[in-house]
Structures are given as structure tokens and as C-alpha cells.
Structure 1
């Protein structure tokens, strides 16, 4: 565990809570906070081990810094300091914390100068970068298969990819005579999953058909994955998102390329659907 003291945590809170208030960390959203830890530090800050004090970003950060060793705490704070400094510069904001840099450097020097016992549970890596690259290559290679085996291979590929990010998938099953490609859990919500690899972008008929399956279980949401995307006319005719979000093949390629966990991609799509009513928002609009 780190050797950070209560007075150190009060200073860290001063550094990160001035933008949005207590419980927040700078101007991070939930998705960008997770992405920051994943891309900058290769750490899964959403691991339940860091939620002992609660689920807010501030509480997760405090729990994380308390549990890790001094070297990891110092590395994390240095990365966050750079992010904070860039925010102050880009917004033209004067640092509201008195002697922030001097106090920060003193804290880092203390962490780097003091040995601490190794954490019983080392930080969980956000993901395996080699596996992410492998998934991207595997998805690309599926294009070489004939249509029927490609469809089955696409379903199996999605199951492996979702399982890699802890989404607890279930195998395909039948519900009142209808084939469902599978289901998974995201933030304790059950989602039905349907995968399509057809020549043309998916249209309104497929969207309505899948949504009809969701209507048979009032507590279920759905994710429709179409490798070749969705037609603009079909999305317009379908109307506002109800309990359905859409993912296209390009989203998957971009997530693997940018090393964004699939759970974070889905959370961003769910949130944007709730905010705008759009069942499909591309990766590039969610993670510019």
C-alpha cells in the first residue's frame, strides 16, 4: 500500500476537484476517466477492488492511490498532473491551488524516495494490447470467408471479444421460436445481442425485428452489431432509440486500433442514445 497520508489526500483533492466539484476528477467523464487510466497507465480503474469507498471518480481514485505501491501512485499522479496542466493552459485558467507545483513535486519526491510494501493485488491491466491488435486482425480476416461460415465465425468472434472485456456473454439461444445470437451483462444490465454480416447496410426492417424481440422482455436492452453498418434511411425511419443501440464494424476496428475497451464503447453509446435518442452514433463521434 502507498504511504500517502490523510493530508496528502486532501492536497490531491484540491488538485483535481476544482473543475467540477467534490467527487469529480478534473473534467473527466466516466468514460474518459476509464480511458485515461487505460491508455496512459494500462490500468483498469473500473475494477471492483477500487470501489470500496463508492463508485464516484474521486472515490475510486482515492481508493486506488491508497491500495497501490508508492511507485504506481507516483506514476499515476504525474500522468494526472500533465493532464491537469494541459487543461489549465487550454482553458486559460489560473491555478486555483496555492503553490500547487512546489507542493506536488514535494509529494512526488516523497513517494519516489520511500519504499512501500508491494500491494497484495497489483493493479489489473486495462487490457492486453497484443490481444487488441490480434482481435483487429482476426476481424479483418473474417472478410475472406464464405457468407454462411462467416456469419457463424462473426458470432463466435464477438463472444470472445466481449468475454475479453468481462461482459459475461451467453451462447446463442432460442426465445419463443426466435434465434437470439446471445446475451451479455454490462453494468448489471442484461443486453440481448444480435450480429449481422450482410452485404448491404442494415435497414429499418431488421431494426424493428430485433426491437420486437426486446419487447418480449421489458427488462432487457439490446445491441445490434452490423459489420457493414446501418442505412441512413433505416435509422431515420426507425426513430429515436428505445432500448436498442447499434454497433458497426468500423466501430470495432476503431476501438481495437485506439485500444478502447468494448465496455467503454458500449457505455458511451448507451449514454449518447439516452441524451440524443440516436440508436447509432459512430465511434469517431464518441471518442474524437
Structure 2
């Protein structure tokens, strides 16, 4: 059972510092304890030493031998451990896009990069690479557009972004007395979208207005507010906590694409943060511990 391509394994080698036979700062004892405690797996099983007994060779053999779900879960746990190393030491990460690199491999293993087919529709190829560089170019190009065109172009960019990550976006639609900039589906839930490209940061009144649109829909509806210019700190404070929306800004979009962090991972972190802290906004840099 081969789960991981050679190019993806080179990424894993680089992120987890495996080129010399080691895996991060693990010793033989601590890596065995890590796998037993976090994954309930015996890392010293002789079958994982079929291609060599070093920690790196065992890990490579393990990742190719187990099912894709287990491989993905292992990479997530190792990535979390890697983050804890840099956080504990207060050091700047020498590979700042490490999260994005590994999360792309995980997305491939979990099949999240390809569109999930509707019932009765033939399945697409297992993995469609996300055109990250093209999306970055599109985002940069928005700055050169005249104001009257920029808003519509921003919405079109976001539709392309959601399509790239198989989030089933709908284009802008109008209701009586209001307009919604679109919607998408993430992790089985439907989200309404508000997108703004304007010079000043978004105030509390705009947040309240969008939140009102969301809560007036179905009880399970949620919302994502994307403001390229960000949000005023006063507005976020005045808007309050424990709402049905989360927020992103232009820097979030750029950081996500530049560090190659999949959009579903960003949404997952933002939703978790909102659930745990009650805050509708936390930057991607903070959520993924990215230091400038």
C-alpha cells in the first residue's frame, strides 16, 4: 500500500528533518513513546524496519504501510509536535511554510483537494492540485483595478478560491431588501459569505448587519465575513462574542496562499478558536504561529 508520492515524501523529510536518519529531536525511546501515547501504535514493530532501522527509515516505511487515514493522522500529530518545539524554544521557524507543506500532503491523503461528487455523478480524479501561484497572482492583480471593478473581481476571486478547495460556492444572490455575496459548503455545513474590498477597516455596524442576515436564515446557518482591509479593533470589541460568524482579512488570504496552508485548515482553526474563545477574528499568523 503506497500512500505517498516521492515528491511528497521529500516534503515530509524536509519538514521533519529526516535527511540524516533522525526525526525532529526524537530519540529512539521518545519516538516510540510518542507513537504509543498519541497514536496507540508500536513504532518498534519489526515490520516498520523492513527498509532500515533508523527513525527516519522506520517512519517512511510506516507511512507507506498504513492506511491513508492513519498516515494523515500521524502527520497531523507530528506537525503539532513540531510546532510545540519552536513555541517552547521561542525560536523563529527556519521553515515558516512548514504547516502549509504538510497540510497539502494531508489534504491529498484525505481526498479533500478534489470535488466531492453529487449522487449519481461519476467521481473525478483523486487529487487536483490547487493552483496556489495563480490564486496569488489574482489576489495581487486586484490592487491595480479601478474601485468600481474591484469589488466584483474580489467576489470572483473568492469563488475561484472556494472552488479550488472543493467548497461548492454559489455566486452572489439577492433576497428581498438585501444582498448576500454568496455561500459555500464546508465540513457538511452551509456558510453565507460577505466580501468587502474598501479602504477603511470594517466597522461593527457592517459586522452586525451581516450577522443579522445569517441569523435570519435557517437555525444552522453560519457566516464568513472577508474584509480585505481588516476590521477595526473597536468594531470587533463592540460587535462582541459568541456569534454565528467568523472573519478573515486580506492579510489572512495572502498568508494562507503564501505559506500554502489549505483553506479548509484555515477555516477549521478559525472555527475552533471561535468555539473555544468566543472571538470572531484571529489572524492566520496567530492561529498557525507564523512569525515574521
Name 1:287's counterpart in structure 2: 288
Worse overlay, 216-225 or 72-81: 72-81
Answer yes or no: is 1:85 the counterpart of 2:23.
Answer: yes
Name 1:258's counterpart in structure 2: 259
Name 2:228's counterpart in structure 1: 227
Name 2:139's counterpart in structure 1: 139
Q: How far apart are residue 202 of structure 1 and its match?
A: 0.2
Structure 1: any 5+ residue segments left out of the alignment? 3-67, 117-121
**Whole-Å separation in 2 of the counterparts to 1:132 and 1:72:** 17
What is the aligned length? 213
Q: TM-score, length-normalised on structure 2?
A: 0.63
User: Does the CA-based 8 Å contact 2:270-2:281 persist in structure 1?
Assistant: yes
**Whole-Å separation in 1 of the counterparts to 2:272 and 2:157:** 25
**Whole-Å separation in 2 of the counterparts to 1:184 and 1:286:** 22
Q: How far apart are residue 181 of structure 1 and its match?
A: 0.5
Runs of 4+ in structure 1 off by over 6 angstroms are 69-81, 110-113
What are the within-5 Å matches in structure 2 for residues 118-157 of structure 1? 128=129, 131-157=131-157
Q: TM-score, length-normalised on structure 1?
A: 0.63
Name 1:170's counterpart in structure 2: 170
How big is each residue's C-alpha offset from its partner over 1:142-170, in whole Å with a ceiling of 9 and x where there is no partner? Answer: 01111121000000000001100010001
**Whole-Å separation in 1 of the counterparts to 2:283 and 2:211:** 20
Answer yes or no: is 1:106 the counterpart of 2:49.
Answer: yes
Q: Secondary structure of the residue that 1:158 maps to in structure 2?
A: helix
**Whole-Å separation in 1 of the counterparts to 2:25 and 2:166:** 32
What are the within-5 Å matches in structure 2 for residues 48-67 of structure 1? none
Q: How far apart are residue 76 of structure 1 and its match?
A: 9.4
**Whole-Å separation in 2 of the counterparts to 1:69 and 1:157:** 31
**Whole-Å separation in 1 of the counterparts to 2:8 and 2:196:** 44
Q: CA RMSD in A?
A: 3.7
Q: How far apart are residue 138 of structure 1 and its match?
A: 1.3
How big is each residue's C-alpha offset from its partner over 1:56-112, in whole Å with a ceiling of 9 and x where there is no partner? Answer: xxxxxxxxxxxx3897998799789868932636xx974546995794762335999
**Whole-Å separation in 1 of the counterparts to 2:166 and 2:278:** 27
Q: Secondary structure of the residue that 1:86 maps to in structure 2?
A: coil
